[in-house]
Amino acid sequence: MLTESFRNIFAIPDLRKRVLFTFAMLAVYRVGCIIPTPGVDPQVLQELMAQMAGTVFGFLNTFTGSALGNAAVFSLGIMPYITASIILQLLTVVIPYLEKLSKEGELGKRKITQYTRYLTLVVSMIQSTGIAFTVQRFTGPGGEQLVPNPGAGFVLMTILTLTTGCAFVMWLGEQISERGIGNGISLIIFAGIVIGLPSAIYDTFSRATSGNLNPLTVVVLVPFMLAVTAFIVFMERSQRRIPVQYAKRVVGRKVYGGQNTYLPLRVNTGGVIPVIFASSILVVPSVVAGFLGPNWPWVQTVADNLGFGQPLHYLLYAAAIIFFSFFYVSIIFNPQDTAENMRKYGGFIPGIRSGRRTAEYIDRVLTRLTLIGSLYLSAVSILPELMLSGFKVANVPIIGGWLDSWVPPFISEGLGIQFYFGGTSLLIVVGVAMDFVQQLESQLVMRNYDGFLKRGRIRGRRG
């Protein structure tokens, strides 16, 4: 089946062209992730990166396909574009002009896209300025400067290079969306994350063979990873289908019920965004603590208690994810608008009055779905951390010490396994992959009718 689909892809000229185009563009993107920006000493950079693995910086590095670590021209990746589109999306809610524009059809959409591009440039300029100033302060472990010739020249050059790089990546993404297959922007992120996979597998493998890692762990881990992935796929596909009927049409004699028309509400409407919101908030205390240094002991304590593996961290993390799930859903999905939209086109939920009551109904269903969705999101996000750092039972109030005395160390200390795909990455990768496959499928679908004609019963007469 799989090989057949694969063969089909290459049997259809248009599809073949699109797929190849997509890969070609992604290849271009990869090249840009390796070419370093001018003025940075690559030797020092490498040493520095080795040092920084596992910090927030490492986390960001994953998303940019280690372009950040290479101090490459594409360091900013597609980040500014995404930031810009989220900002604009939020602003459409706030600014009436944008709201009107978003409803004005094709022309309005084009305009918003245009604004998104401009904003992307602004964001990337800000970010590259930050990067430039930060980078030129760094010194390697041996005391040598990361940037041999710091100063205004370097800063300007970096801003120019990174901003241009970002604009180029944005263009690549748009080209893929238009002439390739799938959503270009998502695919670029996807490529960035997945590119590190082979080396991570190799790394795990070599650690297992060299004895640094219990081979048994690997044996357990692989099926576990697969199970988690399957679970995510399952949850991401889950939706509640609210039947919607249209009163306008009767086809022939047959009246079709609402089995084909429905409003699909996803269990996880907000996607990965709530997790990102939550994790960025939880990072704040440790950043502040790091900034203030040891002179502020109470800040330090707070930061310590919020560190990876701490009970308080898990608690707050889960709570934040749940909160942001509801928050984000309320921003992107408005039951009132949906009900209004349905009413305008003559649709209704059987048995429920259109308008306000429909909105209430949708709202109620959505709230329940989101609760499940947010629990699922927290589980998926916490799991990898649990694997890595364990659950520091000793810090649980009152019963902590007692628990710690008999709980096995792989729970309290974690397995020390760097789950290559953290919760967020896993969610993104699965989401993009599913999307991509669906797009491919919709293109392939037409070719799969062959049976309809081929199932030949072209035979001679009997007898």
- Footprint on residues 41-60 left by other proteins (CB under 8 A): 60
Place of tokens 């690997």: 218
Q: Which of 68, 191, 265, 380 binds other proteins (CB under 8 A)?
A: 265
Stretch of 140-148, 158-166, 253-261, 405-413 lying at the interface with other proteins (CB under 8 A) = 253-261
Cβ within 8 Å of residue 20, ≥6 positions away: none
Stretch of 31-39, 45-53, 123-131, 144-152 lying at the interface with other proteins (CB under 8 A) = 123-131
Stretch of 32-40, 292-300, 308-316, 449-457 lying at the interface with other proteins (CB under 8 A) = 449-457
**Per CB under 8 A, 83 contacts other proteins:** yes
**Per CB under 8 A, 82 contacts other proteins:** yes
Q: Which of 107, 152, 216, 399 binds other proteins (CB under 8 A)?
A: 107
Q: Which of 256, 364, 401, 410 binds other proteins (CB under 8 A)?
A: 256
- Taking the alpha carbons of 186, 187, 188, 194 in that order, is the dihedral positive or negative? positive
Place of tokens 């000793």: 394
Stretch of 43-51, 213-221, 404-412, 452-460 lying at the interface with other proteins (CB under 8 A) = 452-460
Residue 25 CB, nearest approach to other proteins (Å): 15
Residue closer to other proteins by CB (options 164, 336) is 336
Cβ within 8 Å of residue 84, ≥6 positions away: 116, 117, 119, 120, 122, 123
**Per CB under 8 A, 368 contacts other proteins:** no
Residue 149 CB, nearest approach to other proteins (Å): 29
Burial class (CB in 10 A: 0-12, 13-18, 19+), 6: exposed
Q: How far apart are CA 35 and CA 97, in angstroms?
A: 41
Residue closer to other proteins by CB (options 134, 442) is 442
Q: Which of 2, 152, 216, 247 binds other proteins (CB under 8 A)?
A: 247
Residue closer to other proteins by CB (options 334, 412) is 334
**Per CB under 8 A, 462 contacts other proteins:** yes
**Per CB under 8 A, 281 contacts other proteins:** yes
Residue 406 CB, nearest approach to other proteins (Å): 40
Question: Distance from CA of residue 90 to its chain's centroid?
Answer: 18
Residue 237 CB, nearest approach to other proteins (Å): 10
**Per CB under 8 A, 106 contacts other proteins:** yes
Residue closer to other proteins by CB (options 348, 391) is 348
Residue 332 CB, nearest approach to other proteins (Å): 7
Q: Which of 340, 363, 404, 413 binds other proteins (CB under 8 A)?
A: 340
- Footprint on residues 60-79 left by other proteins (CB under 8 A): 60, 63, 77-79
* Number of residues binding to other proteins, judged by CB under 8 A: 105
Q: Which of 183, 238, 305, 412 binds other proteins (CB under 8 A)?
A: 183
- Footprint on residues 348-367 left by other proteins (CB under 8 A): 348-356, 359
- Footprint on residues 186-245 left by other proteins (CB under 8 A): 186, 188-189, 239, 244-245
